[in-house]
Amino acid sequence: MTTTIERPLAPAPPDAGRGRARRRRENLAGYAFMTPWLLGFVFIIGGPVLVSLYLSFTDYAVLGEAEWIGAENYVRMFTSDPRFWAALRVTFIYLLVSVPLVQVFALFLATVLNRGIRGLPAYRAVFYVPSLIGGSVAIAILWRFIFESDGLFNNLLGFVGIETSHSWIGTPSTALSTLIVLNVWQFGAAMIIYLAGLKNVPLELYEAAQIDGAGAWRQFRSITLPMLSPVIFFNVLMNVVAAFQAFNSAYVVSNGSGGPADSTLFYTLYLYQRGFVDFDMGYASALGWVLLIISGAVAALLFTLSRRVVYYGDE
Amino acid sequence: MTITETEAVTVPPIRRRSAHSGRPRPIGKRQFYRHLMLIAMASVMFYPLLWMLGASFRDDSQINDPGFWPGEFFTFDGYAQGFEGVGGTPFWRFIANSLLVSGLCVLANLIACSLTAYAFARIDFRFKKIWFGIMLGTLMLPHHVILIPQYILFREFDWINTYLPFVVPKILATDSFFIFLLVQFFRAIPRELDEAARIDGCGHVGIFFRIILPLSKPALATTAIFTFIYSWNDFFTPLIYLTDTELYTVPLALRSFIDATSYSAFGALFAMSIVSLLPVLGIFIAFQRLLVEGIATSGLKG
């Protein structure tokens, strides 16, 4: 909550006049350096946030004027738009399944790698590569070919004696899980953050626990988890924010449709369809604001929870 | 509120444990099993990539072969066909477009983010704390809230089918993650250096160029690398703002490949997918340490 911003070691001003001149100079310099950001904040971020709030109360199809229709977009969304609810459901399932799984994989490998293992840099690099390329269109294309009915996955299953021609991406009940697998595949970035966090856990704690006869699992639960809790919180928060905004994989795998049967209709994909396929910009803006409120609420919930569970040392 | 993020990464302010993670012991039985498990996991994770690499050199008729090695079906046809491109535009054109856009984004981000970060880290101006808080707040803002007004604005400016929607937001320092990263780095540079420069007659501009920037090469490199990778992989911006095939960037070209080839030229699709991954992998191999440190200290994702 408190930001400590250091102040320059200003020499004691010999008189008030020069101090004021100096302050003016600082203000001027500060805002001069900040000019790009200030312009960006007004025109690219802050302004558009407000404009989209306004647009969400209008009927606007790019061509023509925006027509004020009150809360109709929101009413429509909540009362008579099954695809909105489908998108919410898909996004929340994706988030609730993949974010914890990412943490489990990342934490597990970080603990294994942290025990003084040969070739740590190589392993770290190898497990990180998917995070680097996982969001690309190339990998999404690859995923399509892995989980088709005659794709790589089923072919490999055939090797171990499970013959199936189930199309994992073509069936509503399994399509989303292929995207979850794709997200979990990218656990490497979280793993690296956990590794950095583990380096800061004092070794003495483990030594003391060993003397007390604590086993590996007990040590993990009673030392690693609490000591890492700020890092876990950070990772969860970042992964949740990213999950709300996931788009590429669903778009490429479903060919932009969010199908089959809306089973991969990420919220962002639905917003894209309404805004840039149907050109229903008013409705898409309303969807954007609902996303803002939902992700804000989830972040607030996480922060509240963190105050109860996260251990911030002896402050 | 958001400041806890910094604490989250740097918080446990306790001694480093060097003895623990530093010195690997000779490989015993437990170590052996650990390596076995790690290698098995890595193999499972990487097999799809290897398979795609193999498939890019394999004849289209053998697309369903789950093996990696193309064997007798080895061919460069996929690459030859892939580089022919989409709709009469050769693939190298998409690569050039992507390089241009990513390069401009890197340049814009380096200049704009470091200027802003300097103001936050070193200048004492009015309302700084408020602006800093707002900047941190924008870190978590879902991009999709501002998408539509941004689109309308850029469309009004006639920026559809130009690269301005990619670059202008970067010139205006809207990538707050990098500002945050640079602020953290600048703050760690000793202030005595500023004071010495000031005595020698430097103002903020002099301090920025002669002290801060030269000492911040690692943070600037991290910013450049991640900006490049993000821009290179960016699919959403070109999807919305580019309709002219000649201007397509690589991700958009790949996508239109799927439609254009309608599942007949798998080799070409895989070949160009591999080509699209190469710059990112190359950067990773060249700057591995910077990347890993960048993520570890700031929580940047790839």
Distance from CA of B244 to the nearest CA of A (A): 16
Structure tokens at A165: 């021609």
ipTM value for the complex: 0.87
- List the 2-21 stretch of A: residues with Cβ below 8 A of B: 2-3, 5-9
| Cross-chain residue pair B45–A125, CB shorter than 8 Å | no
Closest residue in A to B130 (Cα) is A3
| Cross-chain residue pair B229–A132, CB shorter than 8 Å | yes
Residue among A48, A217, A269, A235 nearest B152 (CA): A48
The CATH code of the domain at B91-298 is 1.10.3720.10
CA dist., res. B238 & res. B254, Å (int): 12
CA dist., res. A314 & res. A308, Å (int): 15
In CATH terms, A81-309 corresponds, of 3.50.50.60, 1.25.10.10, 2.40.40.20, 1.10.3720.10, to 1.10.3720.10
SS3 B171: helix
Residue among A96, A264, A299, A41 nearest A272 (CA): A264
Domain ranges of chain B: 28-75, 91-298
| Cross-chain residue pair B12–A230, CB shorter than 8 Å | yes
H-state helical runs in B161-265: 164-171, 176-187, 191-199, 204-207, 213-215, 217-233, 236-241, 250-261
| Cross-chain residue pair A109–B13, CB shorter than 8 Å | no
Distance from CA of B256 to the nearest CA of A (A): 10
pLDDT in tens, B81-126: 889 888 889 999 999 999 999 999 999 999 999 999 999 999 999 9
| Cross-chain residue pair A48–B150, CB shorter than 8 Å | yes
The span from the first CA to the last CA of chain B, in angstroms, equals: 25
Q: What is the pLDDT along chain B (302 residues), one digit of tens a residue?
A: 333 333 334 333 344 444 444 455 556 788 888 899 999 999 999 999 999 999 899 888 777 778 778 777 888 888 998 898 888 899 999 999 999 999 999 999 999 999 999 999 999 999 999 999 999 989 889 999 999 999 999 999 999 999 999 999 999 999 999 999 999 999 999 999 999 999 999 999 999 999 999 999 989 999 999 999 999 999 999 999 999 999 999 999 998 888 765 556 788 899 999 999 999 999 999 988 888 877 776 665 54
Domain ranges of chain A: 16-55, 81-309
pTM: 0.88
Structure tokens at B220: 């600037």
Structure tokens at B222: 């991290």
CA dist., res. B149 & res. A53, Å (int): 10
Residue among A201, A203, A256 nearest A228 (CA): A201
Alpha carbon separation from B285 to A132, A178, B280 (Å, rounded): 12, 28, 9
Q: Do B5 and A237 touch, CB atoms closer than 8 A?
A: yes
CA dist., res. A243 & res. A224, Å (int): 26
Closest residue in B to A40 (Cα) is B172
Structure tokens at B55: 């498939």
Task: Name the β-bridge partners of B275.
Answer: none
Q: Which chain B residues touch A299 with a CB distance below 8 Å?
A: 140
